[in-house]
């Protein structure tokens, strides 16, 4: 494949060398978002492999944040507009920033689905930073680069756009609105 050729050429390796075989095997076994299983808001296990071939916008959400109303409103509008074209929004509640998601899963679901008409999947409340960070968030942070402190989720509503192959395309600051990501979503859906 193209990666194998590029690695071989840049490192001066032949396809028969042991180093080349190791590099090729590593590339073939890279993790993607589809390798993770998470719990939904109702406590059911969900394999993210069910989203293969979909563009994913993954967001850590909170009910009592200054960014809540605008983000939930725009997320719902984007989902309505693009879900039939292959967009899925995956919302992960987190209470790590100012205690702004203190409710139970049932309360969070009620809030998002009633007040903001959220029809996209909402998952179990998780930690996104620290030693108990959900594995899916450990993956997202490691795949978006940035080094030690830049790997930390900064606040509620940080967003990750993931391509149809399960790889992180871009990471967006909490202050980046869902509508500001629309052009990137369109590019990945094309």
pLDDT tens digits, 4-49: 443 444 445 444 554 444 444 444 458 999 999 999 999 999 999 9
Q: How far apart are CA 2 and CA 22, in angstroms?
A: 16
Q: Which residues of the chain have pLDDT under 70?
A: 1-29, 145-150
In this prediction, residue 112 carries a pLDDT of 82
Question: What residue ranges do the domains of the chain occupy?
Answer: 1-30, 33-189
| The one catalytic residue among 65, 126, 134, 185 | 65
| Domain range 33-189, CATH class | alpha beta
The answer to whether the beta carbons of residues 91 and 119 sit under 8 Å apart is: no
Q: What is the 3-state secondary structure (H, E, C) of the chain?
A: CHHHHHHHHHHCCCCCCHHHHHHHHHHHCCCCHHHCEEEECCCCEEEHHHHCCCEEEEEEECCCCCCHHHHHHHHHHHHHHHHHHCEEEEEEECCCCCCCCCCCHHHHHHHHHHHCCCCCCEECCCECCCCCECHHHHHHHHHCCCHHHHCCCCCCCCEEEECCCCCEEEEECCCCCHHHHHHHHHHHHC
The answer to whether the beta carbons of residues 92 and 58 sit under 8 Å apart is: yes
In this prediction, residue 10 carries a pLDDT of 42
* This model's pTM is above 0.85: no
For residue 65, indicate whether it is catalytic.
Answer: yes
């Amino acid at each position: 494949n193209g990666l194998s050729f590029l690695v071989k050429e840049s490192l001066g390796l032949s396809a028969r060398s042991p180093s080349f075989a190791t590099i090729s095997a590593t590339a073939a076994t890279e993790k993607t978002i589809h390798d993770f299983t998470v719990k939904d808001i109702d406590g059911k296990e969900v394999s993210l492999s069910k989203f293969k071939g979909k563009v994913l916008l993954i967001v850590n959400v909170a009910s009592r944040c200054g960014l809540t109303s605008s983000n939930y409103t725009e997320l719902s509008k984007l989902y309505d507009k693009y879900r039939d074209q292959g967009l899925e929004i995956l919302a992960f509640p987190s209470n790590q920033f100012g205690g702004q998601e203190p409710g139970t899963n049932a309360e969070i679901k009620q809030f998002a689905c009633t007040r903001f008409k959220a029809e996209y999947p909402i998952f179990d409340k998780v930690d996104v930073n620290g030693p108990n960070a959900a594995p899916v968030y450990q993956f997202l942070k490691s795949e978006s680069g940035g080094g030690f402190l830049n790997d930390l989720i900064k606040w509620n509503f940080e967003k990750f756009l993931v391509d149809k192959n399960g790889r992180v395309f871009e990471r967006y600051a909490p202050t980046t609105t869902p509508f500001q990501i629309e052009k990137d979503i369109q590019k990945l859906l094309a």
